[in-house]
Amino acid sequence: MENNILRIEHLTMQFGGVVAVNDLSMEINRGEIVALIGPNGAGKTTAFNCVTGVYEPTNGQILFCGRQIARSSPTGKMRKMYAGNDASAFVGDSVRLSPDHVTKLGIARTFQNIRLFSGMTVFDNVLTAKHLRRKSNFLVSTLHLNYAEEKRMREETWELLKAVHLLDVADEMATSLPYGKQRLLEIARALATKPTLLLLDEPAAGMNPQETEELSAFIRQIKDEFQLSIFIIEHHMNLVMDISDRIYVIDFGRLIASGVPAEIQNNPAVIEAYLGGEDQ
Amino acid sequence: MKQFVSDRKSRTPAILSFAVIALFYVLVFIAEQHLPSTSMLFTVLKKGATYALVAVSMNLLNGFTGIFSLGQAGFMLIGAYTYAIFTIPLDQRAAVYQYFQGGAVQFSVPVPVALIFAGLAAAFFAFLIGLPVLRLKSDYLAIATLGFAEIIRAIFQWNQLGPITNGSNMLRMFPNFNDFNIRNDAGEVTVYLSTTIPFVISGVCIALIVLLIHSGYGRAFKAIRDDEIAAEAMGINLAHHKQLAFSISSFFAGVGGAMLAMYQTTVQAKSFTSAMTYEILLIVVIGGVGSVTGSVFSSFLFVACSEWWLRFLDEKQMIGTFEVPLLRNGFRLVVFSVIIMIVVLFFRRGIMGTKELPDLFRRKTKEGIK
C-alpha cells in the first residue's frame, strides 16, 4: 500500500485570466501533519477547494489513497486562455467528484469563515455530520425503525463531544458559543464524518496566543486519537512551526519551498516572499 | 452515556402535547354529533384541516429545507384530479364525462388507495420537474415552480386530454367528506364523521411529516437550509436530498389537493390558481416559517377569518338606528389585509417563530419551577 494518503500532481486552477494555483505538486503521508502556508491570496484555500471537490481544477490530478478524486485538463474556452503549466499530461479522461462524495471517501474539512448549522444545537451539528454513513433509507428513518442505528450515532456523538470538551454546551445553539468553541465544534463536526484526512482551513484565525497554544495540543491529540493525517492552512507561524511535520510554501500560486519547519524558517525565498513581505 | 441520552429531556411536554391534540380530536368528534351539520364551524374545520396539511407540506420545503417553492397549487391540482379520476363511481362516469363518451378510465379504486395515488402522482411530477428546477436557487426556483403550476393548470384544461381530465369541465360525483358519515338503512346519519375523517387524514400525514423532520433525514434537510456549502462538505448529497424533500412535500400537497376536492365536492383546474399558493404561503409565514404547529394553527385562523369571523364586514350592520359606515361587499378583504400586515409587523417571525407545541409546555413548566 502506498504511503502517501494525498497526492496532488501539477495542480493548476485558473479563474478567467487569473492563475490562482500554478503547478502545485505535493503529498501527505499517513499520520503526518502537513501545512500549506503563504501570503494572503497565495492560493491556499483554492488548493483546498480543489481537493474537496468544490472547484474542478483547470489542470492536474489529485489522488486520495491511490484513487483519482480529480483529474482534468483545460477544455473549451480555457484552452485558449490557459496560462499555467504544461497541460498535455492530463488530456483525456477527466474525473470530478462532488464535495459530498469526497467527504464520503474520507476527507473532511473545516472552513476559514466558520460555517456551522446555525439553526441547530451543538449536539445536532455533530449528529447531522454522521448522516452520510447512514444505512437506512428515508422511509425506515421516518418511521423510526432504525432505532439501533440512531442510538449508535447518538452515542458516538456524545463520545465525540466529550473528546473535544464540548459536552457541557451540547444543548446550546451552535451560534451562541464563543468564537474559539465554534472553531472546536467545526473540527468535531468534521471528525463526525469519520475521515482519514482532515483539512483545517486557518483553524487559529481570530484566536489569542493562549487559545492558539491549546489548539496545537488539541490538533495533536485528535491526530493520535482518530488516527488522522492532517493538512492545514494557517497564518500563525508559531502554530505551524510547532505542529507541522512538513511545510509547503506557495506564493502567487506557485510552490516556492518545501521541507521540515527548520528548513523553511531559514529558506531565503520564504523569508522574502512571506515573512519579509508581510510582517515587516 | 446511555442515561445521558434518555434523561436529558423530560418527556412531559411531549405527553402533554399529545393529550391536547387528542382532546381536540375528541371535541371535534363530539361537536359533530351534537351541533347542526350546517354550522359554519364545520366548514372552517374541514377546510382548515385541508389547508393545514398543505401548509405543513410547504413548510417542509420552505421552512425546513430552505427551498423556496411556489408550486403548491400545481401539486394540489394533480392530487385533486388523480383522486377524482380514480374514485368517480363507474355508473356516474357517463354523466360526468358527457362530452368525452364516459372518459378513458373505466375503473375506480377505494378512497384510501385513491388518496395515496393522489400523493404518488404529485410526487412523481415533482420528481420530474425537480430534476432541472432544483439546480436553481431561491427566487429563480420560486419563479420556475410558479411557472410549472401555471403550465399544469393549462395542461389539465386541454381538450385533447378530455377523456382523462374532462377538459375544462368540472369533475364531480366522486366521494366527498359527507360520504364518511355512517348511515342506517333508512339513509339517516347515525354517526357523523364528515369532519373527523379529514382531521384523521390530515393528522396522520402531518404526523408523518413531523416524524420525518425529527429523523436523520430531517436533520440533513435543516443542514441544507442552514448552510448548503457546509452540508455538502459534511457529505450530504444536495441534489438527492433536495429532490427527496421536494417529492415528499409534493406527495402531501397532492393528498391535500385530494382533500380539497372532497371538501369542494367538485374539481375544476381553473380554481387552482397561484392565488391559492399565496394563501398557503401566507399561512406558513403567519404561523412561523419552520414551525409545524404554527402552520396548523394559522391555517385554522386564516380559514376562520376569511370564511367566517369577518363575514359580517361584507354586509350592512345596524347598531340601533345607526348604520355602520364603510361596511359593504369587499370590505372584509380590506380588514383582512390590515390584520395580516399587523401580524407580520408585530410577529416578525410569525406567531410561533420556530417553536412547536411541546416547547410551549416546556416554557411553562420551567417558569413554574422558578
Phi-psi region of A41 (alpha: psi -120 to 50; beta: other; left: phi over 0): left
Same domain, A254 and A169: no
Contacts of A214-219 with CB under 8 Å at 24 or more apart are A215/A183, A215/A239, A216/A242, A216/A243, A218/A164, A218/A184, A218/A187, A219/A33, A219/A243
In this structure, is residue A111 part of a structural domain? no
- What's at A138, amino acid-wise? F
Give per-residue pLDDT as tens, A184-207: 999 999 999 999 999 999 998 888
Distance from CA of A279 to the nearest CA of B (A): 32
Question: Is B22 or A84 the better-scoring residue by pLDDT?
Answer: B22
Contact B105, B161 (CB under 8 A): no
Task: Find chain A residues with C-beta within 8 A of B222's C-beta.
Answer: 117, 119-120, 124, 128
Question: Chain B residue closest to A191 (CA)?
Answer: B234
Same domain, A32 and A100: yes
- What's at A8, amino acid-wise? I
Contact B37, B46 (CB under 8 A): no
* Domain closes at, from A141, A159, A194: A194
pTM value is 0.90
Same domain, A85 and A136: no
Q: Give the containing element (helix H, strand E) for B75.
A: helix B72-87
In this structure, is residue A84 part of a structural domain? yes
Which of B216, B222, B237 has the CB atom closest to A141's CB atom? B216
Query: How far, in Å, CA of B293 to CA of A168, rounded?
Result: 30
Instruction: Specify the residue for cell string 339517516.
Output: B188
pLDDT of residue B4: 47
pLDDT of residue A275: 57
Interchain CB distance below 8 Å, B225 and A119? yes
C-alpha cell at A230: 492532517
Distance from CA of A214 to the nearest CA of B (A): 25
pLDDT of residue A40: 84
Closest by Cα among A155, A182, A181, A189 to B223: A189
Coarse DSSP helix, strand, coil percentages of chain B, rounded to the nearest 5 percent: 70, 5, 25
- Does residue A87 register a pLDDT over 80? no
Interchain CB distance below 8 Å, A171 and B226? no
Under DSSP, is residue A235 helix (H, G, I), strand (E, B) or coil?
coil
Give per-residue pLDDT as tens, B326-364: 777 778 888 888 888 888 888 878 888 888 888 888 765
C-alpha cell at A32: 503526518
Q: Give the containing element (helix H, strand E) for A231.
A: strand A229-233
Same domain, A10 and A131: no
pLDDT of residue B9: 62
Give per-residue pLDDT as tens, B50-100: 999 999 999 999 999 999 999 999 999 999 999 999 999 888 888 888 888
Integer angstrom CA distances of residue A90 from A26, A47, A67, A71, A96? 17, 18, 15, 7, 13
Interchain CB distance below 8 Å, B237 and A154? no
A247 forms beta bridges with: A35, A259
What value of ipTM does the predicted structure carry? 0.89
Q: What is the DSSP letter of B352?
A: T
Give mean pLDDT, residues A165-182.
Answer: 90
- The residue among B62, B234, B238 with the most chain A CBs within 10 A of its CB, best to mutate, is B234
Give per-residue pLDDT as tens, A51-85: 999 999 999 999 999 899 999 888 888 888 888 77
C-alpha cell at B51: 389547508
Give mean pLDDT, residues A165-170.
Answer: 91
Closest by Cα among A76, A11, A17, A86 to A50: A11
Instruction: Specify the residue for cell string 451543538.
Output: A122
pLDDT of residue B5: 45
**CA angle in degrees (0–180, nearest 5) for A204-A8-A68:** 120
Contact A128, B215 (CB under 8 A): no
Which of A100, A143, A146 has the CB atom closest to B235's CB atom? A100
- Does residue A279 register a pLDDT over 50? no
Question: Is A271 or A255 the better-scoring residue by pLDDT?
Answer: A255
C-alpha cell at B291: 414551525
The alpha carbon of residue B293 and the mean position of all alpha carbons in its chain are separated, in whole angstroms, by 13
CATH number, domain with residue A274: 3.40.50.300
End-to-end CA distance of chain A: 45
Query: How far, in Å, CA of B78 to CA of A139, rounded?
Result: 23
Same domain, A100 and A216: yes
Q: Which of A43-57, B130-144, B350-364 has the lowest mean pLDDT?
A: B350-364
Give per-residue pLDDT as tens, A213-267: 889 999 999 999 999 999 999 888 888 999 999 999 998 888 998 999 988 888 8
Same domain, A94 and A121: no
Backbone φ, ψ for residue B214 (5° rounding): -90, 5
Under DSSP, is residue A93 helix (H, G, I), strand (E, B) or coil?
coil
**CA angle in degrees (0–180, nearest 5) for A118-A124-A128:** 95
- What's at B99, amino acid-wise? Y
For the four alpha carbons of A69, A74, A78 and A82, in that order, the dihedral sign comes to: positive
Closest by Cα among A189, A194, A200 to A166: A189
Interchain CB distance below 8 Å, B229 and A119? no
Instruction: Specify the residue for cell string 497526492.
Output: A7
Give mean pLDDT, residues A126-155.
Answer: 90
In this structure, is residue A57 part of a structural domain? yes
Q: Give the containing element (helix H, strand E) for B238.
A: helix B238-264
Same domain, A89 and A225: yes
Query: How far, in Å, CA of B86 to CA of B105, rounded?
Result: 8
Query: How far, in Å, CA of B224 to CA of B235, rounded?
Result: 11
Average pLDDT, chain B: 87
- Does residue A88 register a pLDDT over 80? no
Query: How far, in Å, CA of B205 to CA of B197, rounded?
Result: 12
Range of the domain at A128: 116-194
Task: Find chain B residues with C-beta within 8 A of A182's C-beta.
Answer: none
Same domain, A261 and A171: no
C-alpha cell at B302: 386564516
In this structure, is residue A4 part of a structural domain? yes
Share of chain A above pLDDT 90, in %: 52
Same domain, A159 and A27: no
Which of B4, B208, B225 has the CB atom closest to A142's CB atom? B208
* Domain closes at, from A194, A229, A256: A194
Integer angstrom CA distances of residue A148 from A152, A194, B13, B134, B215? 6, 19, 25, 33, 13
Same domain, A51 and A34: yes
For the four alpha carbons of B104, B110, B115 and B121, in that order, the dihedral sign comes to: negative
Query: How far, in Å, CA of B291 to CA of B310, rounded?
Result: 26
Same domain, A144 and A84: no
Same domain, A95 and A56: yes
* Domain closes at, from A157, A179, A194: A194
Query: How far, in Å, CA of B354 to CA of B291, rounded?
Result: 5
Interchain CB distance below 8 Å, B234 and A129? yes
Number of independent structural domains in chain A: 2
Instruction: Specify the residue for cell string 444545537.
Output: A121
Query: How far, in Å, CA of B277 to CA of B258, rounded?
Result: 16
pLDDT band at B8 (very low <50, low <70, confident <90, very high): low
- Does residue B13 register a pLDDT over 90? no
Average pLDDT, chain A: 88
Number of H helices, E strands in chain B: 16, 4
pLDDT band at B368 (very low <50, low <70, confident <90, very high): very low
Q: What string of DSSP letters covers A120-171? A: SBHHHHHHHTTGGG--S-HHHHHTT--HHHHHHHHHHHHHHHHHTT-GGGTT
Give mean pLDDT, residues B168-172.
Answer: 87
List, in order of start, the domains of chain B with CATH numbers. Answer: 42-369 (1.10.3470)
In this structure, is residue A95 part of a structural domain? yes
Best mean pLDDT range from B31-45, B246-260, B331-345: B246-260
Give per-residue pLDDT as tens, B117-127: 999 999 999 99
pLDDT of residue B331: 81
Q: Give the containing element (helix H, strand E) for A201.
A: strand A197-201
pLDDT of residue A200: 94
